[in-house]
Amino acid sequence: MSMLDIRNVTKQFGSLVAVNSVSMQVAAGELRAIIGPNGAGKTTFFNMISGFFSPTAGDIVFDGTTVTKLAVAERVAMGMARTFQITEIFPELTVRENIRIGVESALGLRQRFWIGAAQKAAVNRGIDEALILTGLTVNADRLVGELSHGDQRAAEIATALTLKPRLLLLDEPTAGMGEHETYAVANLIRRLHKNSAYTIVLIEHDMRVVFNLADKITVLGEGKMLAEGTPDEIAANPIVQEAYLGKAE
Amino acid sequence: MSTATTTAVTTPVMPARPWLTTAIIFAALLTVPVWLPMLGGYTALAGRVLVLGLAAMSFNLLLGFTGVMSFGHAAYFGLGAYGAGLTLKYIAPSTPLAMVGGVLLGGILGSLFGRLIAQRRGVYFAMVTVAFGQIAFYVTYSWDSLTGGYDGLRGFSRAPLNLGFTTIDITNNSTYFYYFLLFVFAVATGLQALLLASPFGRTLVAIRENERRARFLGIPIERHIWMSFSISCCFTALAGALYALLNNFADPMGLHYSLSGEIVIMTVMGGMRAFWGPLIGAALFVVLQDYISSMTVNWMSFVGLIFVLVVLFFPRGLLGMLQKGTEK
């Protein structure tokens, strides 16, 4: 059974059909990249998966449960986490405090007015785990707002990882980054995928990142699914070359 | 690792010695009856600082630590005052019971109202809080038979504290009453500090910092804003109850939006990101009011001028600026 099963979802904003009957299955442990020109409906598609808004038609099934109409908090509780195109983080807190808020929420402590030493220790273990996984240990006590773009993105991914998500959604993780930062973030994603077996769906514009990381690629264009396949299949696909890759290069 | 209390309370302005500010403030407050008369002040003035400081700090749980602006907090302050006055007048001559009555009246109405508005944001939230404040003001103003209307509620006075083994005369001895106020103030602000250092308190800062990220970490935003609003109203109502005990009087102006504005001014002037900031703002406000109003009836324009200067030159507020200055 697939981790994520999207069945003919459509999203209409007034007369604009942003996403037009797109289906997609992502297997557990898979890394799926969604690509397509600007305005293809990638982020709209993503927002429906993560619960930012619901589709006009179609169904989203996450690990066997239909989540089409569920609120964000309910999807998060089921193990869905996401990052955003423009990094969404707590800028005036340190990296450690950013992660602490995620760990406490994940451990179900978010409405507690008091926690004991054992729980504090569990929280600190969770923080250290996320710091090590994302390579942020040296920056743990710096304010996130002061970090480089790439490290801010890593911190955002770290807070998302505190939820121990069964599905990690990354919206353009390397957007606006230089060569070096793109490489670092791509490496982080590769580690999460290869070493920690996370199921990841990401939107990405950087084709080197996409073709290096993805198990499978879904191509959207003008709200429709243009193609789906392995990186080799996509690279060889004439429709994709014409509609997307040809224009881009 | 620093203790949990200090990290949450002082975020994001993190002074090098987090306990120093607290120690200095309590040293100053404990010795008020010694040094205030030397400067020409009187103890009741310090009582006003504690009461308004507690109101502003309670308001700041919402503004400074949840990032939500209420422009009608005087309503809960005034309701707390009436709750205390009505308890003393009609139920029992007990000071602790009066405080409970005040907190219940302001806290329950605040919590009910908060449930209705937790979905609103920004200026819409602020506007409906003003509207509710004015409703509460006019109801109090018009309900002559219960509240005394425009003239206010009279005919009650705080009762001596009976501790079982001894009785403390806070009715006539102003020094004893000051220490009683200080005790309640210390307990209330201690609870606020614990709250902010708790996982729940951190979710509030998370909402302030980035609502979208907080939501995608599974924090139920509306519920937590509602809880924060209710808690803030309870503490503000406690301050109002203390105000009624201080004056042996409650009047509709205690609910008026002008007081809501003054609470905002105190908070911003003192520093809304610093835990003790609103207290410093309240002290400055009360002292200015006392000194300048003895010289001119237009004292508020001077307070306004000073407010503008503080906002322009010390955007973190007075205490925020001082703590930033002593860092490193």
Q: Are A121 and A130 within 8 A, CB to CB?
A: no
User: Between these two residues, A38 and B229, which has the higher pLDDT value?
Assistant: B229
Q: Percentage of chain B with pLDDT > 70?
A: 94
Mutation target among B13, B217, B227 for the A interface, most CBs of A within 10 A: B217
User: Smallest CA–CA separation between A152 and chain B, in Å?
Assistant: 13
Cβ separation of A92 and B11 shorter than 8 Å? yes
Q: B215: which chain A residues are within 8 Å (Cβ-Cβ)?
A: 72-73
The pLDDT of residue A210 is: 93
Q: What are phi and psi of B166, to 5 degrees?
A: -155, 165
Computed from CA positions of residues B32, B34, B36, B41, in that sequence, does the dihedral angle turn out positive or negative?
positive
- Closest by Cβ to A102, choosing from B12, B217, B220: B217
- Closest by Cβ to B213, choosing from A88, A109, A112: A88
On the question of pLDDT at B8 being above 80, the answer is no
Q: Are B276 and B25 within 8 A, CB to CB?
A: yes
Predicted confidence band of residue A249 (pLDDT cuts 50, 70, 90): very low
Fold of B4-325: ABC transporter involved in vitamin B12 uptake, BtuC (1.10.3470)
* 3-class SS string, chain A: CCCEEEEEEEEEECCEEEEEEEEEEECCCCEEEEECCCCCCHHHHHHHHHCCCCCCEEEEEECCEECCCCCHHHHHHHCEEEECCCCCCCCCCEHHHHHHHHHHHHCCCCCCCCCCHHHHHHHHHHHHHHHHHHCCHHHCCCEHHHCCHHHHHHHHHHHHHCCCCCEEEEECCCCCCCHHHHHHHHHHHHHHHHCCCCCEEEECCCHHHHHHHCCEEEEEECCEEEEEECHHHHHHCHHHHHHHHHHHC
**Residue of B68, B320, B67, B66 lying closest to B201 (CA atoms):** B66
- Closest by Cβ to A113, choosing from B195, B205, B218: B195
Q: Which residue carries 């919206």 as its tokens?
A: A171
Closest chain A residue to the Cα of B218, Cα to Cα: A73
On the question of pLDDT at A244 being above 80, the answer is no
On the question of pLDDT at B38 being above 90, the answer is no
d(CA A207, CA A172): 12
Cβ separation of A76 and B195 shorter than 8 Å? no
Q: Are B287 and B325 within 8 A, CB to CB?
A: no
Closest chain B residue to the Cα of A52, Cα to Cα: B216
What single-letter DSSP state applies at residue B327? -
On the question of pLDDT at A247 being above 90, the answer is no
Token couple for B41:
């002040």
* Region A167-182 average pLDDT: 92
On the question of pLDDT at B7 being above 50, the answer is no
d(CA A103, CA A124): 9
Closest chain A residue to the Cα of B196, Cα to Cα: A113
On the question of pLDDT at B50 being above 90, the answer is yes
Q: A113: which chain B residues are within 8 Å (Cβ-Cβ)?
A: 194-195, 198, 200-201
What's the pLDDT tens digit per position in B72-103? Answer: 999 999 999 999 999 999 999 999 999 999 99
User: Smallest CA–CA separation between A132 and chain B, in Å?
Assistant: 18
* Region A164-181 average pLDDT: 92
What's the pLDDT tens digit per position in A1-40? Answer: 799 999 999 999 999 999 999 999 999 999 999 998 888 8
| Complex ipTM | 0.90
Instruction: Give Cβ neighbours of residue A21 (< 8 Å, ≥ 6 apart).
Output: A8, A9, A10, A57, A58, A224
CATH of range A1-79+166-249; options 1.10.3720.10, 3.20.20.70, 3.40.50.300, 3.40.640.10: 3.40.50.300
The pLDDT of residue B66 is: 96
On the question of pLDDT at A123 being above 90, the answer is yes
Q: The whole model's pTM is what?
A: 0.90
Cβ separation of A92 and B195 shorter than 8 Å? no
On the question of pLDDT at B321 being above 60, the answer is yes
**Residue of B169, B164, B193 lying closest to B180 (CA atoms):** B169
The pLDDT of residue B9 is: 37
* Region B252-263 average pLDDT: 93
What is the three-class DSSP state of B59?
helix
Domain layout of chain B by residue ranges: 4-325
Predicted confidence band of residue A202 (pLDDT cuts 50, 70, 90): very high
Q: How many CB atoms lie within 10 A of CB A235?
A: 14
Average confidence score pLDDT of chain B: 90
The pLDDT of residue B298 is: 85
What's the pLDDT tens digit per position in B272-306? Answer: 999 999 999 999 999 998 888 888 888 888 888 99
The pLDDT of residue B326 is: 60
Range(s) for CATH 3.40.50.300 in chain A? 1-79+166-249
The pLDDT of residue A79 is: 93
- Closest by Cβ to A163, choosing from B198, B200, B217: B217
What's the pLDDT tens digit per position in A62-120? Answer: 999 999 999 999 999 999 999 999 999 999 999 999 999 999 999 999 999 999 999 99
E-only strand ranges, chain B = 161-162, 167-168
- Closest by Cβ to B216, choosing from A82, A100, A111: A82
Q: Percentage of chain A with pLDDT > 70?
A: 97
What single-letter DSSP state applies at residue B250? B
The pLDDT of residue B12 is: 45
HSE of B301, CA atoms in CB hemisphere, 13 A = 4
